[in-house]
Structure 1
Amino acid sequence: MKKIGLLVLIAALAVGFFHFNLHQLLTLDGLKSGLGQFEELRTESPVLVTGGFLALYIAVTALSLPGAAIMTLAAGALFGVVMGTVIVSFASTIGATLAFLVSRYLLRDSIQARFGDRLKTFNEGIEREGAFYLFTLRLVPVFPFFLINLVMGLTTIRAFTFFWVSQLGMLVGTVVFVNAGTQLGQIESLSGILSPALLLSFVLLGVFPLVAKKILDIIKARRVYAKFTKPKSFDRNLIVIGAGAGGLVSSYIAAAVKAKVTLIEAHKMGGDCLNYGCVPSKAIIKSAKIAKQIRTAEKYGLESSEPTFSFKKVMARVHDVVSKVEPHDSVERYTKLGVDVVQGYAKLIDPWTVEIQLAEGGTKRMTARSIVLATGARPFVPDLPGLDETGYYTSDTLWEEFAKFDAPPKRLVVLGGGPIGSELAQSFARLGSNVTQVERGSRIMAREDEEVSKLVQNSMRSDGVNILTSHNAIRCEKEGDVKRLIVEKDGVESVIEFDALLCAVGRQARLEGYGLENLGIETQRTITTNDYLETLFPNIFAVGDVAGPYQFTHVAAHQAWYAAVNALFGTFKKFRADYRVIPWATFVDPEVARVGLSEQDAKEQGIAYEMVRYGLDDLDRAIAESATDGFVKVLTVPGKDKILGVTIVGDHSGDLLAEFVLAMKHGLGLNKILGTIHTYPTWAESNKYAAGEWKRAHTPERILAWVEKYHTWRRG
């Protein structure tokens, strides 16, 4: 009600302004004709006229009414250059700040709630450099004065910052107009003041802060590099450290544009994803899924039976899959692409020099104009008393070690309820292990919506996984050959005996041993970078798990494009890394895939949304394959088909998600998906049917009522 009252008051003042023809006074002709009376009044009551002029100027600017330019001329004519400038400078800034505050009070919350996702990048820019942007806009009178006030009110810039930057930024323009007002009799139109030459001068003045910022960046960079001696020439255009997804893509792009690039890898080409993560885990997930299908063959009209298999052969297949993918990331392939691949351990000596401990022995130094750090991450091992004594495995070690086993571990404990822990817990349970999964949180898959976690948890429990949520691992104990994990819940300890323990509680960036600390490159949990993926040194970039904010192979490859292009061509143009549409999938059964907001995210961030849900138990293909557990859930902007986020649970969900990723990336709504032909009968139809659910929820009932009457009339 307060907002409505304020709107009514503003509207009434604006209507009164025009109703009583006050706007006629704020024209050039009106000013000239009334100037004599103004001067007489000022002579009789200087304080009253000055105060009244100040109040009127504030009111005009606060209400965003036309006439501020004319009043600025009047200030020059009435009060002279110095006094007129002081009055207008403060009046215009106070009025602008009032308009700014009104806009913030009336509109900001609703605008941010409705368009928060679109404005995210803009808001982040304002938060970092809002004062700079505002100052630049104020210097150029081409931008409407009132519009700047209203738009800035929708941002997070502080009111005090808005006030002083506006006063400073408008000062030059104010002086020009006030000075022109002293020669009011010679002015025939406002264009006489704002001539093309003067406008060009203002534009150049507005460009000055941009040039100044560039100069400051150069000075800042020189200060950062001050204690180092830059080589006069370089051995390479680019050196890339780490041959995981980020490093491979960075070096590939550099070679593709004919730059001289060296890729340095200390261990295995392909990084964690090929050797320890994505590839081997998906291989064993497939074997485990087949074992599950054999046990439940009656679902397909076949005889169910307990699968018989050699665990050694299962693990051999995992390694065979890795070996078949390896050529895609091999030294030979990248050498043919034009990349100089060096096996060894790299360390930064200065911002341009890398020293390599070569795998075959000896050291080598080389220089490059730019360097990309793509050193990846490793499994995090908790500081759990007794863990070293009992022994443990991680996703980095289990593939080699388990390949030596004749059978899967009889009793396997998995620490962690995230994607890696859940995938492996379910897989080994299906392959015959007695699996206990320990998660200290209240549920597994905590980044997903609660209904997703519950569905996955029920599926895993049906496979025999004993899931212990809200349990803290306290310590490990070993007595003879017996290994035990002690866990605690609500103050009560319990004992879990195990034959093997898998740590899957997260991953931590590889930060040590690369010379970062010697150069002063800031690190926290990851290497600190800016929007362009630059570190403290503008020629050193970081991508992938070591940079964050997402630990996904496809994000590392995505970042690599920006890092490589900025490293090689940043002198001319830099590109900010774009994280607006990031998909991911967890390959439990049923699969979970997501892009954009979940309901949980939307509620936590206070973003308004509508939700539609299509159950796979209605999909013909899912029914045919007896795989009806799951759904497609889409979040949209209220009243619109714009997609805010999608969660898909079910078979092939990682593949089905791609259509929504494409739609979100290119601003396509659910109506476009609904209007696209999908092959029947396929899993992809679920996306179309989810769009249909949205359409049904937004049926124009009132129009249809009239259409029904029309058809009734047509029948006679």
Structure 2
Amino acid sequence: MAPPLSPSRWRQLLLIAAIALVVVLFFALGLHRQLTLEALQAAHGALLEQRRQAPLLVAGAYLILYVLVAALSLPGAAVLTLAGGALFGVGLGTLLVSFASSIGALLAFLVARTLLRGPVRRRFARQLAPIEAGVARDGVLYLLSLRLAPVFPFFLVNLLMALTPIRAASFYLTSQIGMLPGTFVYVNAGTQLAQLRGIGGILSPPLLGSLLLLALFPWLAKAALGRWQTWRLYRRWPRPRRFDRNLIVIGAGAAGLVTSYIAATVKARVTLVERGAMGGDCLNTGCVPSKALISSARLAARLRRADRYGLEPQEPRLNLRRVLERVAAKVAAVAPHDSVERYEGLGVEVLRGQARLLDPWTVAIRSDAGSEQRLTARAIVLATGAEPVRPDWPGSEAVPLLTSETVWDWLAQCPLERPRLAVLGGGPIACELAQALAQLGLPITQIQRSDRLLRKEDADVAAEVRQALEEDGVTLHLDTEVLGFERDPAPGGAVTVLVRQGERRERIACDAVLCALGRRARLQGYGLEELGIPTGATITTNAFLQTLYPNIYAAGDVAGPFQFTHTAAHQAWYAAVNALFGQLRSFQVDNRVIPRTTFTDPEVATVGLTEAEASARGLAVEVTRFPLHELDRAIVESAERGFVKVLTSPGSDRILGATIVGEHAGELLAEIVLAMKWGLGLGKIFGTIHAYPTLAEASKYTAAAWKKQRVPQHLLPWLRRYHAWRRRG
């Protein structure tokens, strides 16, 4: 059954009906024939007499008629403006027309926003996004220029601005100011009504040129102010007469590597500076080693549950050292992709050392041996990454307090066959490592301060992950606060984690503590403070990734707001292109569709809004779910656990967000990410052929479930009768 119309939809329909009625009456009564220059000239004397007899009544009627014509974008506004001068003179006429035209424009704006903005944004969200971003930044200037230049039809400006995020108050005030010069010209012309031979002759080429120059003034003033501010910003630094490089990139993680690669590809002279290992955290201590560990852990878990596949289950014999040797081998296999040799072969100069900004163009590079080299560049990109947060609880200095960076060496050197680990945190890194190590057979205790895991995900998603972790042997302590640590003073002595859950205190024994409490941007030691570059949790940048100094950019984890390798690479394109070609054209970073995957078992993959986020923003959404236990390929793979959940705009197939819980969820999400990026709805996914039997069919079946909810149930009895009639021959 089709869903009933909402109150807002009823109001929209009533508004459309009222507007249609007024427009029909306007033309049916022949009012459009009265709003011509000839009709106004013929009735001029009679109108003046009426104004003399009832000045307030005529002024009020004139005001109401003008507002109505402007609000409904009816023909005749220009003639009414002339009438203002002819009836009321320059002063009062300008005052009446100014307020009437602005109020009418505001009403037209509000009507268009009510009726058109929702459908247009749903249909053309991707195309409108850059326009909305520009209006959010310079909307008042855009509107002021359009109002000052009367070559643009004002009714069209009202409709177009209604589709943007500009505030109604800003629209009204800017219109009031911007339309004043043109209003004055027309009202003044109206005082010479008898001599006018046509409306088109009012704006002479010199006058029109003057108004166009006036429309350009706000932009010229903004450009001049920007240049003055830039001059003030740079004036205390001596600018090099010649630059050694086109670009210097600090940091060889994902953002730095991609930035350097792009710069070298377009034949810029680029230097990449890295003080540690090439590839950054992702290659050496993050994504690559953790996923290699997870793949071994998945196999161990499946051996224990081999009965699900008709085989005899068995407990795998763990050789932790061999597992870690495999992890190291996989890192070594990927490492050539990020190596010095590869990038030097691409044309990138790679220097090892600590980089520090001396001024907006100069970077000092200190090698491990203590020597220093100074290079200048037109542009600099900061891609210094992030590092694990290490808490300072009582006793933390006396215990093996590991992070996602140091856990690998500790495990490789640990003499214990099955060391006990306490994992602090409930985010993606904590859940991934806790489950993987537990699947390998290590005793794992996970401690989370809040009452559930994965706080960025919906509660039903977190519940699935919690159940999976507990089934794999992780001992969970949720809603638990860490108070500190104690350690047995004997060599290799056990560690005790002191915790409190409510009023109850506990002592948790382990051999080491793995802190997975988040990551923070690397900001120290790069000269940011000396240059006055603003920082908070990350380096402060604008939409073009520029810092305080327009030639210094930041990308990746250090720029935020995301801490994913794929977003670092995504930002790197913008940083490189803007740094090298920004004087020709700059691009704002597009962060509208950012996927994320937590590689637990089952995986959790999310893009766009979650249900919790939509609720917090007060957004109405429709939720469509498809359980994987109904998917044929999931059934035969014994991978029935999980679901697909898609959020759409009410009454529309436009995807606002999606979450997939299940095996290979990260891969399955890609189709939905593509659809969101390019404005394709669930209808397009439903109409796309998917190979059978595949896990990818989950997206199609979710779209089918959405489609099924919209079957017009009231038509089904009539269809039954139709088919019965057809059977009668």
Do these two structures clear the TM 0.5 threshold for a shared fold by scoring above it?
A: yes
| Aligned residue in 2 for 1:676 | 688
Letter in 2 for 1:335: E
Distance apart, 1:277 and its partner CA: 0.6
Match of 2:652 among 635, 640, 648: 640
Name which of 314, 324, 331 aligns with 1:315: 324
Q: CA 1:61–1:392 in 2, change beyond 3 Å: closer, same or farther?
A: same
Q: Per-residue deviation at 1:572?
A: 0.9
Asked if residue 689 in structure 1 is aligned to residue 698 in structure 2, the reply is: no
Distance 2:169 2:236 in 1: 38
With over 3 angstroms needed to count, the CA separation of the structure-2 counterparts of 1:627 and 1:327, relative to structure 1, is same
In the other structure, the counterpart of 2:408 is 399
AA matched with 1:696: K
2:671 aligned with 1:659: yes
Aligned to 1:227: 236
Q: State which of 380, 391, 399 in structure 1 corresponds to 2:389.
A: 380
Instruction: Give 2:349's aligned amino acid.
Output: D
Paired residues for 1:538-549 under 5 Å: 538-549=550-561
Give 1:364's aligned residue.
373
1:284 match: 293
Alignment partner of 2:662 out of 636, 646, 650: 650
Gaps of 5+ in 1: none
Partner residue of 1:140? 149
Match in the other structure for 2:3: none
| Equivalent residue for 1:432, pick from 427, 433, 441 | 441
Structure 2: how far apart are the matches of 1:102 and 1:676? 37
Q: How does 1:22-421 map to 2 (within 5 A)?
A: 22-44=31-53, 46=55, 49-100=58-109, 125-149=134-158, 152=161, 157-194=166-203, 202-203=211-212, 205-407=214-416, 410-421=419-430
Distance 2:387 2:418 in 1: 23
Q: Which residue of 1 aligns with 2:4?
A: none
What's the offset of the Cα at 1:439? 1.2
Matched, 1:526 2:535: no
2:457 to 443, 448, 451: 448
Q: Which one of 584, 595, 615 corresponds to residue 607 of structure 2?
A: 595
* Shift in CA distance, 8/654, structure 1 to aligned 2, threshold 3 Å: closer
Query: Which SS does the other structure have where 2:452 is aligned?
Result: coil
User: Which residue, 574, 579, 587 being the options, matches 2:586?
Assistant: 574
**Structure 2 residue aligned with 1:626:** 638
The separation in 2 between residues aligned to 1:195 and 1:554, in whole angstroms, is 57
1:697-716 → structure 2 map (5 Å cutoff): 697-702=709-714, 705-715=717-727, 716=729
Partners of 1:20 and 1:434 in 2: CA distance: 86
Amino acid at match of 1:253: I
Match in the other structure for 2:469: 460
Q: Name whichever of 28-37 and 559-568 sits farther off.
A: 28-37
Opposite residue 692 of structure 2, the aligned amino acid is Y
Unaligned runs of 5+ in 2: 1-6
What is the Cα deviation at residue 621 of structure 1? 2.1
Could you say what secondary structure the match of 1:403 adopts? Answer: helix
> Does structure 2 retain, via aligned residues, the 8 Å contact 1:277–1:395?
yes
**For residues 495 and 289 of structure 1, do their structure 2 counterparts lie closer, same or farther at Cα, with a shift above 3 Å needed?**
same
Quick one: structure 1 residues 80 and 450, their matched pair in 2 at CA, closer, same or farther if it must change by over 3 Å?
same
Structure 1 residues 195 and 633: alpha-carbon distance in aligned structure 2, compared to 1, 3 A threshold: farther
**Is contact 1:408-1:431 (8 Å) kept?**
no
> Residues 61 and 680 (structure 1 numbering): CA distance in 2 closer, same or farther, change over 3 Å?
closer
Decide whether the 8 Å contact of 2:360 with 2:552 is kept in 1: yes
Deviates more, 1:46-55 or 1:372-381: 46-55
Instruction: After superposition, give the CA deviation of every residue in 1:470-492 in whole Å (9 maximum; x if it has no partner).
Output: 11212222343342222222233
Which stretch of structure 1 is more off in the superposition, 297-306 or 460-469? 297-306
- Aligned partner of residue 401 in structure 2, secondary structure: coil
Corresponding position: 1:498 with 2:510:
yes
* Deviations 1:359-381 (CA, angstroms, capped at 9, x unpaired): 34300110100111100000012
In structure 2, C-alpha distance between the alignment counterparts of 1:37 and 1:412, rounded to whole Å: 96
Tell me if the contact between 1:108 and 1:155 (Cα under 8 Å) persists in the aligned partners.
no
Percent of aligned pairs sharing the same letter: 55
Equivalent pair of 2:122/2:654 in contact (CA under 8 Å): no
Q: Deviation string for 1:542-593 (max 9, x for gaps)?
A: 1000001111100000010011101111111111111111111110000111
Counterpart CA distance in 1 for 2:333 and 2:453 is: 33
Task: Note the alpha carbon deviations across 1:407-436, whole angstroms, 9 max, x for none.
Answer: 465321111100000000001111222211
Residue by residue over 1:618-671, the C-alpha shift from the partner in whole angstroms, topping out at 9 and shown as x without a partner, is 222222221211112222233333222221111111111112212222222223
CA–CA distance in structure 1, aligned partners of residues 345 and 124 of structure 2: 46
Q: Which moved more, 1:409-418 or 1:39-48?
A: 39-48
Query: 2:309 corresponds to which letter in structure 1?
Result: Y
Distance 1:688 1:96 in 2: 45
What's the TM-score, normalizing by structure 2?
0.91
State how far apart, in whole Å, the 2-side matches of 1:77 and 1:662 are: 60
2:482 is matched with 473
Contact 2:364 2:372 in 1 (8 A): yes
Q: Please say if residues 318 and 441 of structure 2, whose CA atoms lie closer than 8 Å, have aligned partners that are also in contact.
A: no
SS at match of 2:337: helix
Aligned-partner Cα distance in 1 for 2:133–2:177: 23
Q: Distance in 1 between matches of 2:524 and 2:175?
A: 46
Q: How far off is 1:16 after superposition?
A: 5.3
RMSD: 2.8
Query: Quick check: 1:408–1:428 contact (8 Å CA) kept in 2?
Result: no
Change (3 A) 1:194 1:408: farther
SS across alignment from 1:371: strand
Q: Larger deviation: 210-219 or 608-617?
A: 210-219
Q: CA 1:611–1:160 in structure 2 vs 1: closer, same or farther (change >3 Å)? A: closer
Question: Aligned partners of 1:652, 1:502: CA distance in 2, in Å?
Answer: 27
CA distance in 1, matches of 2:314, 2:341: 45
Structure-1-length-normalised TM-score: 0.93
Query: Against the structure 1 CA distance between its residues 196 and 690, is the aligned structure 2 distance closer, same or farther, given a 3 Å change threshold?
Result: farther
Separation in 1, partners of 2:626, 2:207: 61
CA positional deviation for 1:174: 1.2
CA 101–701 in structure 1, closer or farther in 2 if over 3 Å, else same: closer
Q: Tell me, yes or no, if the aligned pair for 2:125 and 2:679 is still in contact at 8 Å.
A: no
Cα 1:56/1:714, change in 2 over 3 Å: closer
Structure 2 CA distance for aligned equivalents of residues 305 and 293 of structure 1: 9
SS of aligned partner of 1:264:
strand
Whether the 8 Å contact between 1:417 and 1:443 is mirrored in structure 2 is yes
Q: Secondary structure at the match of 2:639?
A: coil
Contact between 2:318 and 2:440, CA under 8 Å: does it hold in 1?
Answer: no
| CA drift at 1:300 | 1.7
